[in-house]
Amino acid sequence: MQNSFDHPTADDDARRKRFELLPDDTKRLMVDHSHKQANLENGPSLYQQMEKETDPQKKEELEKAIAIIEAVKAEGGKAYVVGGYVRDIAMQRMGREVTPDDIDIEVYGVELDRLLSILRSYGAIGEKGKQFEVIKVKVGDEFIDVAVPRTDIKVAPGHKGFKTVPDPFKSIAEASARRDFTVNAMLLDPFTGEIIDKHGGFTDMQFKVLRAVDRNTFPQDPLRPLRAARFAAQLGFEVEEDTIELCRGVTLSELPKERIGEEWMKLFLKSKKPSIGMEVARELGIIEKLHPELRALEGAKQDPGYHPEGDVWTHTKIVVDAAAASVAGKEMTDEEKLVVILGALCHDLGKPYTKAINEEGRITHHGHSEAGIPYAKSLLESMKVPGDILKKVLSIVREHMTVLTTESFSKKALLRFERRLAPATIEELVAVSKADSRADGKLDRDALVAQAAGMKDVNAPPTFIVTGDDLLAIGFTSGKHLGRVKEEVNDAYLDGNIRTKEEAIELAKRLKE
Query: Could you read off the pLDDT of 223-279 as tens digits, one per residue?
Result: 999 999 999 999 999 999 999 999 999 999 999 999 999 999 999 999 999 999 999
The pLDDT of residue 290 is 98
Cα 80 to Cα 179: distance, rounded to the nearest angstrom? 14
Q: Is the pLDDT of residue 450 over 60?
A: no
Q: Which residues contact 177 (CB under 8 A, 6 or more apart)?
A: 185, 198, 199, 213, 214, 217
The larger pLDDT score, comparing residue 405 to residue 22, is at 22
The pLDDT of residue 463 is 66
The larger pLDDT score, comparing residue 216 to residue 343, is at 343
Which run of H or E residues covers position 483?
helix 480-494
Cα 125 to Cα 103: distance, rounded to the nearest angstrom? 15
User: At how many degrees (to 10) do helices 373-382 and 257-270 cross?
Assistant: 100
Q: Is the pLDDT of residue 59 over 90?
A: yes
Give 7: exposed, middle or buried? Use CB within 10 Å, 0-12, 13-18, 19+: exposed
User: At how many degrees (to 10) do helices 312-327 and 274-283 cross?
Assistant: 140
Of all residues in the chain, the percent with pLDDT exceeding 90 is: 51
Average of pLDDT values for 442-468?
58
Chain centre to alpha carbon of residue 20 = 51
Q: Is the pLDDT of residue 442 over 60?
A: no
Of 52-56, 419-423, 443-447, the least confident: 443-447
Q: What is the average pLDDT score of the chain? A: 86
Supply φ then ψ for residue 457, to 5 degrees.
-75, 145
Of 147-161, 266-280, 293-307, 414-428, the least confident: 147-161
Q: Is the pLDDT of residue 448 over 60?
A: no
The pLDDT of residue 68 is 95
Looking at 42-171, list the stretches that DSSP marks H as alpha helix, in order from N- to C-terminal side: 46-52, 56-74, 84-93, 112-119
Best-predicted range by mean pLDDT (133-142, 318-327, 408-417, 480-489)? 318-327
Closest CA to 68 of 136, 128, 119: 119
Q: Is the pLDDT of residue 449 over 80?
A: no
The larger pLDDT score, comparing residue 284 to residue 152, is at 284
Cα 64 to Cα 52: distance, rounded to the nearest angstrom? 16
Instruction: Check: CB of residue 161 under 8 Å from CB of residue 54.
Output: no
107 half-sphere exposure, CB direction, 13 A CA radius:
31
Instruction: Check: CB of residue 183 under 8 Å from CB of residue 210.
Output: yes
Q: Is the pLDDT of residue 103 over 90?
A: yes
Q: Which residues contact 416 (CB under 8 A, 6 or more apart)?
A: 463, 491, 494
The pLDDT of residue 4 is 37
Cα 197 to Cα 184: distance, rounded to the nearest angstrom? 10
The reported pTM is 0.81
Q: Which residues contact 465 (CB under 8 A, 6 or more apart)?
A: 489, 490, 493, 498, 501, 504
Cα 330 to Cα 336: distance, rounded to the nearest angstrom? 10
